[in-house]
Structure 1
Amino acid sequence: MIELSVDEARRVAVAAQLLTADRPTDLVATVHRLTFLQLDPTAAVAPSADLVAWSRLGGTYRPEHLTRALDERRLFELGALVRPMSDVGLYLAVQPRPDSGASRWLEANDGFRRDVLARLRDAGPLQSRDIPDTAQVPWQSTGWTHQRNVTQMLEILAVRGQVAIAGRVGRQRLWDLPERVYPADVAVPTAEEAAHIRDERRLASLGIARDVTVAVPVEPITVGAAGEPATVAGVPGRWRVDPAALAVLDRAPAPRTALLSPFDRLIHDRVRAQQLFGYEYVLEMYKPADQRRWGYFALPVLHGNRLVGKLDAKADRKAGRLVVQALHEDLPLDADARDAVGREVQALADWLGLAPPG
């Protein structure tokens, strides 16, 4: 059993997420380490995928670098996540449950499925609006996907490796057959092998994760039996730690200050963030304005190995300025820490091509 102090656990988590002063320099290698970038259209400051990349790579990163890596097939998109193309086999190996609602709907719409594949084979890549809806059974949902039959068919087939996202026109995805998008020699492991590798990769990206946890949307936070069992002094429960991540404890600390996306994996697991960092975070853009404590798209603030606050900021592109409504301090910041946060705000404004706050 590996025994860690809270400070050691924080150092492991921060370093695993590439948030030390030893910045990475390559976008694809960064995505490989993080395992994915999450695509989200919210751009109150900048889209989340770009914010995550900027917070690691710094001002040398540009959004067009992500577009180019996708166009050059060094990265691929699946389910609103961008992953390294070298990992595509790990996700083609996923076997959806045959008794799921999606599987039953697909079975009831086999003719529709064949129509979609034939249309892509003849004319792909295509946007979803260019594919006729020939569904025999409409997709039923209480949400925005209700009767969006073509979109749902494409999403379901993408998870099963029968179609692939070939690119985008603006925000609209282009769909095609996987053999025209993925490498011809892609190796697909068994489902069990792929799950084990995904768990190992996920733990390497997190450094430390809870032994038992709850399900969360988009991407799991569970790591199975990957790594080694561990305890964190003063923190309840058992943990799993990546043994390779412990090497950071043998080196001199390399702290830095960073502004994070609200979707950043350092804080995505809210229970882990609370237990390891004493940090509470809620994404408040879905709340009425008068119920927000920190702001519509507040950026978590990392200083060294502590999450110290939230920056309520907005990119006012019409005025050409980065607007900061407030810096909410979870921990009291001394003059040096405030200066460090101020430099990051300036760096963010420079990266966005906006004037800094007045």
Structure 2
Amino acid sequence: MVHHLTRDQARRIIVRAQLLDGARPGDVVEVAEQLGYTKIDPTAVIAPCEHTVLWSRIGWSYEPGQLAKAVEIDRQLFEFDGAFRPMSLLPLMKPAMRRWPERENTRQWLEANTRFRADVLARLRAEGPLEAGAIDDTAQLPRKPDGWSGSNVVTMLECLLRQGEVAVAGRHGRHRRWDLAERVYPLDLPEYDEEEAQSLWDARRLQAAGLAKQRSPWTPVGTAGEEARVEGSAWKFRVDPDAIVALEEEAAGRVAILNPYDGMLFDRPRLEQVYEFTYVLEQFKPKPQRRHGYFAHPILLGDRFVGMLDAEVDRTGDTLKIAAVHEFLPLEEEEREMVDAEIRELAEWLGVDPAFSP
């Protein structure tokens, strides 16, 4: 069966899958289960990515402590590869952990550091959880495989994380605290073989995406879901069947201010195909080449990207300094009021006052 979607329907499917429609989720775990991951990034021009992503879904009732509780106390989320993920995904990742690493130079580095590996595990077993800086570097071969940065201890911990032997137990500020995986992850998780795990993981990715190109390096979903075509696009898509059913429900739109590292923005080709939105992160561009600002946040209104918010928090003055709201097309008065209201909501959540530039 092939589903034929209008561009508006395709946009609504994605917005709803990303929890950016009018029906806000209730808590951190609900967001994690739907999205699959929340990127961790310290860039805090407004707020760190993981917190902005959750605020943009949950709204004013979200507090950063809720994320820490879900990760460190309730163990409903876990940290892996620069993102917070729901614990329900861990069983689907285990087969890949068992065959990691695939690169020969990483295997050779681990084999040459057998004693170092044992030292790190023994230290965690005796004293964990620990920050990397508290663990002695006893590396026999002091080099960094695959171009990773950081100390030998951090490199070894990252390797052991990918093999499922250690886990991030929590954070002290931005510093990770490490422990044995058996003391962090639940012990009664289901087991899957590699083929079944991959199929289930593809389905979870499609659930989070709603709609994805059939062969996409950005949103790999395999053959999950059903085939779809979108008006105006020559691409073959895969669509979540549940998202098709949900199209019959009344759509409720709202304004969402998105962190530049939000998963909604990750698949740039899909943004162009479905939303006709070419998103460029200008963080690493020279200042004279920036159009919208160093770390401008895209503004979603309903199912359209309507502009970019160039703002930063000034903690010395307790203000959200708004340099500009760049409108792609002139907004109607009611739309501009909605955008301004969301900016004020953002400032209130941050505990500062909005200060619009003259």
Please confirm whether the aligned pair reaches a TM-score higher than 0.5, indicating the same fold. yes
1:9 aligns with 2:10: yes
Deviation, structure 1 residue 34: 0.6
* Equivalent position SS for 1:300: strand
Aligned ranges 1:102-181 → 2 under 5 Å: 102-140=106-144, 145=149, 148-181=151-184
Q: Is the 8 A contact 1:209 1:239 kept in 2?
A: yes
Could you tell me how far apart the structure 2 residues matched to 1:97 and 1:174 are? 23
Deviation, structure 1 residue 326: 1.1
Q: Is the 8 A contact 1:154 1:163 kept in 2?
A: yes
Q: Which runs of 5+ in 1 are unaligned?
A: none
Deviation, structure 1 residue 86: 2.6
Specify the code of the residue in structure 2 equivalent to 1:123: E
Could you tell me how far apart the structure 1 residues matched to 2:129 and 2:101 are? 28
Aligned residues: 352
Specify the code of the residue in structure 1 equivalent to 2:10: A
Could you tell me how far apart the structure 1 residues matched to 2:106 and 2:257 are? 38
Counterpart of 1:25 in structure 2 is: 26
1:330 aligns with 2:333: no
Q: Encode CA deviations 1:111-146: one digit per residue, 9 max, x unaligned.
A: 211111111111111111111111122224796716
CA RMSD in angstroms, aligned pairs only: 1.5
Could you tell me how far apart the structure 1 residues matched to 2:226 and 2:32 are? 24
Could you tell me how far apart the structure 2 residues matched to 1:240 and 1:17 are? 16
Q: Is the 8 A contact 2:116 2:139 kept in 1?
A: yes
| Cα pair distance change 1:142/1:120, threshold 3 Å | closer
| Greater Cα shift, 91-100 or 299-308 | 91-100
Could you tell me how far apart the structure 1 residues matched to 2:259 and 2:198 are? 27
Counterpart of 1:303 in structure 2 is: 301
Could you tell me how far apart the structure 1 residues matched to 2:264 and 2:254 are? 15
Deviation, structure 1 residue 309: 1.3
Could you tell me how far apart the structure 2 residues matched to 1:233 and 1:96 are? 41
| Cα pair distance change 1:197/1:142, threshold 3 Å | closer
Residue identity over aligned pairs, in percent, reads 46
Counterpart of 2:93 in structure 1 is: 91
| Cα pair distance change 1:140/1:164, threshold 3 Å | closer
Counterpart of 1:225 in structure 2 is: 223
* Equivalent position SS for 2:353: coil
Q: Encode CA deviations 1:324-357: one digit per residue, 9 max, x unaligned.
A: 1111122331111111100000000000000012
Could you tell me how far apart the structure 1 residues matched to 2:38 and 2:184 are? 19
Counterpart among 235, 252, 255 of residue 254 in structure 1: 252
Could you tell me how far apart the structure 1 residues matched to 2:197 and 2:329 are? 41
Counterpart among 81, 86, 94 of residue 83 in structure 2: 81
Q: Is the 8 A contact 2:27 2:62 kept in 1?
A: no
Deviation, structure 1 residue 97: 4.4
Counterpart of 1:196 in structure 2 is: 199
Specify the code of the residue in structure 2 equivalent to 1:131: I
Could you tell me how far apart the structure 2 residues matched to 1:261 and 1:42 are? 10
Could you tell me how far apart the structure 1 residues matched to 2:207 and 2:113 are? 40
Could you tell me how far apart the structure 2 residues matched to 1:302 and 1:151 are? 38
1:235 aligns with 2:233: yes
Q: Encode CA deviations 1:135-165: one digit per residue, 9 max, x unaligned.
A: 122224796716x211011011101101111
